[in-house]
Amino acid sequence: MTIALSALASFLEGSQRYGEATIEGISHDSRRMEPGWIFCATRGNRGDGHLHAAEAIANGASALLVEKVLSFDIPQITVPNVRAALGPAAAAVEGWPIQKLRSVGITGTDGKTTTSYLLEGILAAHGWTTGLVGTVETRIAGRGSPSTLTTPEAPDLQRHLAAMVKDDVDAVVMEVSSHGIDQQRVDGIRFDVAVFTNLFAEHLDYHGTIEHYWATKAKLFEPSRAAAGVVGVDGEWGQRLAYQAAIPTKTFGRSPEADLEIREVRATLEGTTLVGTCRAGGPKWIQLWSPMVGGFNAYNMAAAYLAALTLGVPADVAEEGLAACSKVPGRFEQVDEGQPFLVVVDYAHTPDALGGLIATARDLASGKVIVVVGARGGRDRLKRPRTGRAAAQADMAILTTDSPGFEDPSHIARELLIGTFDVPERHVVIELDRAAAIAMALQAAGPGDAVLIVGRGHERSRHLGEQEVPFDDRNASREVLRNLGYSTSGTRRAANA
């Protein structure tokens, strides 16, 4: 796509244009420029993009989007706030691709990733070519690449959407984080459907209060951002959102007043069954099944089913799509090396998600539940005691290192430990070496037990100081199990044979 600088300026509120150019691309990273691209000088906590304009020009920038005219002989657009203009500018440069796609944006504390995969599976079953943007990967017509942000920065996001249009994608499902909304990465996008899964205290180091956190997510349900909404109402924040949303909204949850009422949930190691009633189209009595393991996934199934109906997918196709959906990497992902106990790697990193995971393990296992858990460095310190308290509900909790960055891992573990002090009959161990902690848990497990290795899920590396170190919980678990002599052939070798 190409756009004249004058045309681009017409989409940006309060803009002034100086000079003319033909724009072929956009970036706010001075290191990622190509000839014909416009450089957007955003300001943030880590610096001022205006100071990098010279580097951007040296790397090929043909124009600048700035808050004040800079002393370079190059066409420029000034706006009151470059960050606020970045989303619409990127959308305009890429030809407003969201307008050529059916689209669903999913927000909430827990369940965004699983819901997005379930919904993508439904849309594929309907015969639509799909795109996916989220925590695990960005996928375009079946081709995936690992993600670095749940919701990419606006130029990258609009570039992905434009690639989807080029590859004849019919519908895109996108995870929308609170950071993505607050930092205006999804500005310039209006979704056909916005989904709210739930809300718990999370990211308060960034948002300050849970009220601000909720208000940020609630912005997705404004008429300028979505045409319709789907809201989980089993918590006070979802109830408030459903009441206040200024767009047509359908609800799901245990409440008899919900449009999709969840009446019964049955979970096995093969998957999850949801039995309920639906007043939002299709049959009144529904029985949905998904290979996703865990009773908590009933809410994700309900959200995906309602979103699909809202997009116009027939109920029977939505039901078939849920049943055919592939499992999500790092979400209740089972590691099986022939051992007589359950080993699960999961991304659960909030106290509520961890509590739900432990409850599911108790339902599925006949023996004890062992948890290996840590916490990220440099973020959400206030939730660490609650995470520790949730972990201590297991029969054995091993507190370890997650991805500490520049924070002292022992300090993080102590903050987790604080939350366990009032848990009766707790069995808590600190082992800061994550590989050793995983080994300890697997060595302690016996027939019928369940070992939960949580917090990192699909991730394949950790940040230790300035270093990014390869580490995959799934591979580490397999290695330990094999060293213990287990084999998928069903026979156990001598350890270290």
C-alpha 142 chain-centroid distance: 19
Which three-class secondary structure state does DSSP give residue 449?
A: coil
Give strand pairing partners of 140.
131, 143
Q: Is 205's pLDDT higher than 90?
A: no
Q: Is 334 helix (H, G, I), strand (E, B) or coil?
A: strand
**Stretch among 234-238, 315-319, 379-383 having the lowest mean pLDDT:** 379-383
pLDDT level of residue 127 (50, 70, 90 thresholds): very high
Are 311 and 102 spatial neighbours (Cβ–Cβ below 8 Å)?
yes
Torsion of CA 320, 324, 325, 326, to 10 degrees: 180
- What is the spatial distance between Cα 450 and Cα 434, in angstroms, rounded to a whole number? 18
pTM of the model: 0.90
Q: How many CA atoms lie within 13 A of 407 on its CB side?
A: 21
pLDDT of residue 417: 94
Mean pLDDT of 274-297: 92
Structure tokens at 238: 């979802």
What is the rounded CA–CA span in Å between residue 494 and residue 256? 56
Q: Which of 109, 146, 116 is nearest to 326 (CA)?
A: 116
Task: Give how far the C-alpha of residue 260 lies from the chain's centroid of Cα atoms, to the nearest Å.
Answer: 24
Locate 218 and state its tokens. 């609630």
- What is the pLDDT confidence band of residue 210, given thresholds at 50, 70 and 90? confident
Residue 283 has what pLDDT? 85
pLDDT by residue (tens digit) across 83-101?
999 999 999 999 999 999 9
For 243, the 3-state DSSP assignment is helix
Would you say residue 495 has pLDDT above 70?
A: no
Give whole-number Cα distances, 468 to 171, 362, 471, in Å.
Answer: 34, 35, 9
For residue 13, what is the DSSP state? Answer: T
Q: With contact defined as beta carbons under 8 Å apart, do 185 and 151 qualify?
A: yes
Both tokens of residue 346?
A: 């999961």
Residue 260 in contact with residue 230, Cβ under 8 Å?
no
Quote the tokens at residue 364: 């599925």
For the stretch 324-364, pLDDT in tens is 988 888 999 999 999 999 999 999 888 988 999 999 999 99
- pLDDT band of residue 497 (cuts 50, 70, 90) is very low
pLDDT of 496 above 70: no
pLDDT at 17 over 50: yes
List of domains in the chain: 3-93 (3.40.1390.10), 97-324 (3.40.1190.10), 333-483 (3.90.190.20)
Mean pLDDT value of segment 9-26:
96
Please state, rounded to an integer, the average pLDDT across all residues of the chain.
93
The C-alpha angle 218, 219, 223, rounded to 5 degrees, equals 110
Q: Among 392, 391, 283, 315, which Cα is nearest to 346's?
A: 391
Give the three-state DSSP class for 494.
coil
